[in-house]
Chains A and B, each alone.
Chain A
């Protein structure tokens, strides 16, 4: 059996978070009534001309600097010509031969803990098209040009990914980065962050790439993974069946989890790219680059390295905590309250209880029902032994569902940990007295029964006995097992 290697490159389209469009003054806000945000320029009226939005350029440069790329001193806007109703000019203004950003890379932490460097061939500025609407229109199509002219940064990777999971990890990393840079809101439902995947397979060890298929318009991490997995299996099946993969564009059907052919290479449009004579070459000088560099925030990798160093966290934990600027902000606010000696505890809570509660309710960290101050109040009670970690989970659940401060819930429910050794002692005595057989067996060598006694005492104290104290006192009372 041939072993197959998957080769993947991604073209990510990140919608830049400018207030106005890339070549017109119309607003870019999502969700407005159809065509209410389409100016004469967006509608491609006769005689109108594009004027480049400087903010979009600034954002592209910011991205270029963040991936260690070359920011071109001179880049060119070109016209990509084709007819489609949602493309009012009959051409899209994009960058073709001379993009604004070239040759960068990004480090991606994989699940197995290894770091992979993915090359980024280029990133270029272009305008988005409008949308065709087919619902509710009998025998006709509607066109909404609100999105036409929205600035996009197309980020083209090298064919460096070797599995669907790697592709997703890369895409997530870019997602993290563009949100850190505040150049894209990353909203995938609204289409602000989406990608096309170029997928091919080759026998493991082969030097030449296989024939690739381009899968269009993947707008969730899950779809990227599913679509690539499907496509890889499809291609391997073709080749193993003696067939040949054809170069084509395929569309992912998210209902059926399969890819379908859109058009073959032969049917591909001849886009007749040429420099747009309405726009001068984009010239970017060192002063502008320096100015943009000043605005760069601490980048995710820098922040994760700092966390690992300062808070003695594992690279993985640090990476997860830094996966969004908001999550890192939450974590830092938490640490400010608990002190950095308790970083591991704080990290575990953020990545554990908090994350699963957020996931369960489909909330972003900004919308968390328990804010950093509230969670800090809870952790403080763990640290000072008022409650055990186990009880804390119940308190957290109550905070999450009913609201309120940790202290109030602990008091109201009487959850304060029993740390009075006298009280624990008498509970132990009662349990030992009630279980003479188990005591005899324990002393006879069944040391696993220690857990039984812990459980019984906990039960008797409604889980409130301080676990460390209980352990210590119980050991003393029971004596050695098998002695």
Chain B
């Protein structure tokens, strides 16, 4: 069962020539062709170029080269520009857009030897928490195909959970990696803001967006992150700081680790969800970690703050989609204004329009101070609260989401309820912190995620803590029914 192996195991097989990258690639392509119709996790399949890349990887392996991702198949969220391949961002606006260049993340994973199988479905322009805003229709959760996989990186999460690839890329602006990882029972990682280049990643909210990884274990995440992370001169917000060896960092015992329990994360938490977190804490305590109660008084501000900052930035970022140079253009525009209005009116979906309008409003003269400026202040307070918490703890643990995956259609007409799904994840984005979600059990037979949040650039510590947990548990090895073989 090649598809149930972890990246490290696959790399080992490749290195020992027990399997070729072409065979591996064919195996996953076959799964995609067979299983994707029931999931709608991929919007573009790049079989031919995948096989060519796999053959090239085999040649490099044949020449004696060895690298952790050399010959390993992967799926990119369709928010990353891929040279010569349609990059739709889940939108009608870019349904016809073939990117003329590779995103830095794409380029790095390619040169590391990764083999792109295709592009993953997503909420339109990464705006959504359920993958229901995609122009290509909702993605289905492999654990229950009547339910959402979460969003916005729902396609990447579902594909990873269904073993359509050993790993997938994603982006996380308010929880868009961690929430779908939790809802599909995989390991999802959002690095520190600035750790991974944003160049070539279609912007939603520039000050919050961060690229990350979906894989099936923390150890696998470490291998992928190693290849993705690092300074990029093309992204002024990327940080020029050496990248540690993440995989080597997985060997630290947890004795003495101080885990913070955020009061605000547990208030009102559903008892079954709380019990899962408590079970996880037992694992940590028995490994010698200590738990400390901490508080982030400003955390309740995070959802409203986010829903000012993110729309404000998106209203400006999405102005370039005007029907002039690329993307959707309306039929027979009467004049310039008509071209703008109809191209954008027809090219964008309802949620994107809602956020553009909200963002335009909060930046408008007379409202700027009351909304945008106030949100910036709240954001600063949230970041300060985290900083204070990290004075006394090494990392913070809590739930990733309040509830497991909800049925498709259940919240689609109720944006506020939908937005509240991100209540536990948004704080890390506002503060720019690294955070991850790993499977920790089930509620109603549906996976739930354990969230770990660390101080800036504490990727190694987070991955180590997650890896230690995964050494003691096997939630991350569970395969959704119907996807075992």
Contact = CB atoms under 8 A, between A and B. Distances in A.
A216 B267 CA distance: 59
Given A88-B320, A90-B319, A278-B206, A48 B237 contact: no
Given A81-B316, A277-B206, A46 B89 contact: yes
Nearest to A85: B324
Given A47-B99, A47-B103, A278-B206, A81 B319 contact: yes
A278 B237 contact: yes
A46 B199 contact: no
A45 interface: yes
Contacts of B199: 47-49
A173 B151 CA distance: 59
Interface in B197-255: 198-203, 205-207, 233-237
A224 B59 CA distance: 68
A286 B435 CA distance: 38
A446 B237 CA distance: 90
Contacts of B202: 46-47
A238 B101 CA distance: 57
A52 B237 CA distance: 11
A277 B236 contact: no
Contact of B236 (A44, A52, A85): A52
Interface in A3-46: 40, 43-46
B237 A40 contact: no
B320 A274 contact: no
Contacts of B181: none
B361 to A, nearest CB: 10
A91 interface: yes
A272 B364 contact: yes
A229 B195 CA distance: 57
B459 interface: no
Interface in B335-368: 336, 340, 360, 363-365, 368
B86 to A, nearest CB: 12
A429 B89 CA distance: 103
A79 interface: yes
B34 interface: no
Contacts of B81: 45-47
A272 B360 contact: yes
Interface string B305-324: 00000001101101111101
A274 B201 CA distance: 21
A114 B312 CA distance: 51
A145 to B, nearest CB: 9
Given A46-B87, A48-B200, A90-B320, A277 B101 contact: no
A50 B340 CA distance: 24
Interface residues of B, number: 45
A384 B318 CA distance: 75
Contacts of B97: 46
A473 interface: no
A46 B99 CA distance: 8
A266 interface: no
Contacts of A85: 322, 324, 336
Given A46-B81, A46-B97, A83-B340, A278 B319 contact: no
Contacts of A44: 320, 325
Nearest to A51: B236
A143 B336 CA distance: 13
Contact of B101 (A40, A51, A88, A273): A40
Contacts of B372: 274
A88 B99 contact: no
A358 interface: no
B94 interface: yes
Nearest to A52: B236
A274 to B, nearest CB: 6
Contact of B316 (A45, A51, A274): A274
Contacts of A272: 315-316, 360, 363-365, 368
A40 to B, nearest CB: 6
A79 B200 CA distance: 20
B320 A89 contact: yes
Given A46-B97, A272-B364, A277-B206, A51 B233 contact: yes
Contacts of B360: 272
A246 interface: no
B100 interface: yes
A270 interface: yes
Contacts of B237: 49, 277-280
A277 B359 CA distance: 14
B364 A278 contact: no
A47 B203 contact: yes
A48 B206 CA distance: 11
- Among A40, A47, A90, A91: residue with most chain B CB under 10 A: A47
B325 A81 contact: no
B320 A46 contact: yes
A83 B315 CA distance: 12
Interface string A262-288: 000000001011100111100000000
A400 to B, nearest CB: 52
Q: Which of B235, B312, B325 has the most CB of A within 10 A?
A: B325
Contacts of A40: 100-101
Contact of A279 (B101, B234, B236, B313): B236
A89 B316 CA distance: 8
Contacts of A88: 320, 324-325
Contacts of A273: 363
Contacts of A91: 316, 319
A270 B94 contact: no
B121 to A, nearest CB: 17
A279 B336 CA distance: 30
A50 B203 CA distance: 12
A470 to B, nearest CB: 76
A89 B318 CA distance: 8
Nearest to A35: B325
A47 B102 CA distance: 10
B432 to A, nearest CB: 12
A42 B96 CA distance: 21
Nearest to A90: B319
A344 B129 CA distance: 81
Contacts of A277: 205-207, 237, 313
Nearest to A79: B316
Given A46-B94, A47-B81, A274 B363 contact: yes
A278 B237 CA distance: 6
Contact of A43 (B233, B318, B325, B365): B325
6 contacts: A40-B100, A43-B325, A47-B199, A49-B236, A83-B322, A91-B319
Given A46-B81, A46-B202, A83-B319, 18 more contacts: A44-B325, A45-B81, A45-B101, A46-B327, A47-B80, A47-B81, A47-B87, A49-B234, A51-B235, A52-B236, A85-B324, A85-B336, A90-B322, A91-B319, A272-B316, A272-B364, A274-B363, A277-B205
Q: Which 5 A-B pairs have the closest CB atoms?
A: A90-B319, A277-B207, A272-B363, A277-B206, A44-B320
